[in-house]
Structure 1
Amino acid sequence: MLGFVTIQDHAPGAGDRLLTATAERLAAAGLRLAGAVQINTEPAPGCECDMDLRILGDDGPLVRITQSLGAGSQACRLDSEALTRAVARTESVLDRGAELLIVNKFGKQECFGRGFRDTIARALAAGIPVLVHVPDEQLPGFRDFAGDMAEHVAAERIEDWCRTQLARPAA
């Protein structure tokens, strides 16, 4: 019940757009979703894009997960406190009863045991299917986490995979 998608289109934000569109269609069909999808704001010239998370199943504001570090900075712009807030809001939605968890990315934070990693494990333990995007560079860390429990899902089959998981009887 752990599906992961890798994106062959390496254009910036391709995975984010795919999961966002999928979540929108599934929510419009009446499915109760939890999780987060990433919205990238086009940057001003000479700047990096800002990244926000939209918490699925939550009417609250977007969560900006990047921080401005000033001109010329090469450090990671991830705001770990903001990511922690996004995770807490997602877990609140899970507590209210979600049918599917969608996570924008199994990234470096998850590989290090932080971010959405525990939320993913919690959903799986509760029998809630999980769909996550895994960038190529994070595949080894994801495989360490998931073992043989994860199923690769082709990008064009994401919605079919989700609906199949939801049609299965609870374990």
Structure 2
Amino acid sequence: MKADTATAAAPEAPATTLPAAAIVHAYHASVDGLLADFAFGLKKRGWRVRGVVQQSHGEGKAHTVLVDLDDGFAFPLFQKLGAGSASCSVDPGGVAAASIVLRRALHEGADLAIVNRFGALDANGGGFAAEMLALMSEGRPLLTVVADAYLRDWRWFTGGCGSELPASLPALEDWFAGIVGGRETP
């Protein structure tokens, strides 16, 4: 039996979109404050927002942490590799420890799960990739940040079904309103 090669070779457009979005920004531009402000603003209005945001409590990478939106617990994001190191300084142990926050969002539920970043670790199957895939497979709303350097990886990761948002509060509010179907607060 011969396969229909014309049909098999034609790429299909995504049939649906995921309730997942990434704030797209230029590499080295920071949108961490925007993501955190949006997440904390939703929490103040009564939404169950869970996940981690990236915050700096001083100068340099040593003071940058992942903050649990539920309890404020801070996880280390970078490791000290020494002045001469050219290696990536993201602390995979800190990221692994923080992954419990996203697993809690999956198992206990959330109106929105926040992931501080989709970057090199995630694009290569590490970081929070497993947790993001689990959340998306359950249809849980997910919002992250992606630098334009990783936009192709994000598109591959979501099968082209994730939304791409500009770095603006109105865009985030509009996207979230569409996800929750216009509900005010729970």
TM-score, structure 1 normalization: 0.86
For the residue of structure 1 that corresponds to 2:52, the secondary structure is strand
Tell me the equivalent position of 1:158. 172
Structure 2 segments unaligned to the other structure (5+ residues) = 1-18
Does the aligned pair in 2 maintain the 1:37–1:103 contact within 8 Å?
yes
Residue among 24, 40, 46 paired with 2:40: 24
Residue among 96, 101, 104 paired with 1:92: 104
Alignment of 1:3-152 (within 5 A): 3-8=21-26, 10-11=28-29, 14-43=30-59, 48=61, 50-57=63-70, 59=71, 61-152=73-164
Does the aligned pair in 1 maintain the 2:26–2:148 contact within 8 Å?
no
- Residues 153/48 of structure 1: CA separation in 2 closer, same or farther (3 Å cut): closer
Larger Cα Rg: Structure 1 or Structure 2? 2
For the residue of structure 2 that corresponds to 1:76, the secondary structure is coil
Q: Distance in 2 between matches of 1:63 and 1:143?
A: 28
Q: After TM superposition, give the deviation of residue 134 of structure 1 in Å.
A: 0.6
Counterpart residue type for residue 73 of structure 2:
P
Counterpart residue type for residue 66 of structure 2:
L
- Name the % identity: 31
**1:5-48: per-residue Cα shift (whole Å, max 9, x none)?**
1125954xx211110111010111111112110002332xxx54
Q: After TM superposition, give the deviation of residue 49 of structure 1 in Å.
A: 5.1
Counterpart residue type for residue 177 of structure 2:
R
Which region of structure 1 is more displaced relative to structure 2, 155-164 or 16-25?
155-164
TM-score, structure 2 normalization: 0.79
Structure 1 segments unaligned to the other structure (5+ residues) = none
Which region of structure 1 is more displaced relative to structure 2, 136-145 or 147-156?
147-156
User: How many residue pairs end up in the alignment?
Assistant: 163
Q: After TM superposition, give the deviation of residue 87 of structure 1 in Å.
A: 0.8
For the residue of structure 1 that corresponds to 2:25, the secondary structure is coil
Q: Distance in 2 between matches of 1:90 and 1:4?
A: 16
Q: Distance in 1 between matches of 2:67 and 2:111?
A: 18
Counterpart residue type for residue 158 of structure 1:
L
For the residue of structure 1 that corresponds to 2:159, the secondary structure is helix
